[in-house]
Amino acid sequence: VPFIGGIIAAFFPIALLTIAGMREVKRVYVDVARTVGANGYQIATRVYLPAIAGQVFTGIRIGLGAAVTGALLAETKIAKAGLGFLIVEYYNQFRIADMYSLLLLIFILAALINWAMKALFTKLSPLPRSAPPFTDQIPIREQHRAPVDGALRAAQRLNGTR
């Protein structure tokens, strides 16, 4: 039952950041994909998913932290076993050193999981860290070419020529 608290706590950061990412996708990218004949599936997988990957990955990382917190809080109130239950039991028994060692263990595990998720998401990210993802981050002298070059690259990717 306590894992339901974790699921509920994780849902909202993931959902809200995914929605925010969808809203930030520039309409011109979708229009270019439609112009070169992309169907709905291709637009979703080749335009939207790469554009929102950063927000989704961030939402998952934040949601993971919220899930751990939610599950621990639920365990402190309703569970008869688990880490949250043990923390409360150690506190009630004045076993403060055991309580803090358990909290430290949870912190270390959460930090390791967060580090592993960050490494995984960096590896799965569609854009390299050094590349500017949007044209408003390109120096002004190169902006006049960026929309044309971007449209050509999108058309080549959709047609499979690049």
Convert the pLDDT of each residue in 73-92 to its tens digit.
Answer: 888 888 788 888 898 999 99
Predicted confidence at residue 3, as pLDDT, reads: 74
Looking at the chain, how many residues does it have? Answer: 162
CA 159, 57, 83, 108 dihedral sign is: positive
Mean pLDDT of 102-117: 91
Percent of the chain predicted with pLDDT > 70? 76
Assess contact for 43 and 30: CB atoms under 8 A: yes
Predicted confidence at residue 143, as pLDDT, reads: 45
| Nearest-angstrom CA–CA distance, 3 and 79 | 10
Average pLDDT of the residues of the chain: 81
* Backbone φ/ψ region at 39: left (φ over 0), alpha (ψ -120 to 50), beta: beta
| Nearest-angstrom CA–CA distance, 69 and 66 | 5
Predicted TM-score (pTM) of the model is 0.66
The type of residue at 45 is T
What is the four-CA torsion angle of 118, 124, 130, 134, rounded to 10 degrees? -110
Predicted confidence at residue 20, as pLDDT, reads: 92
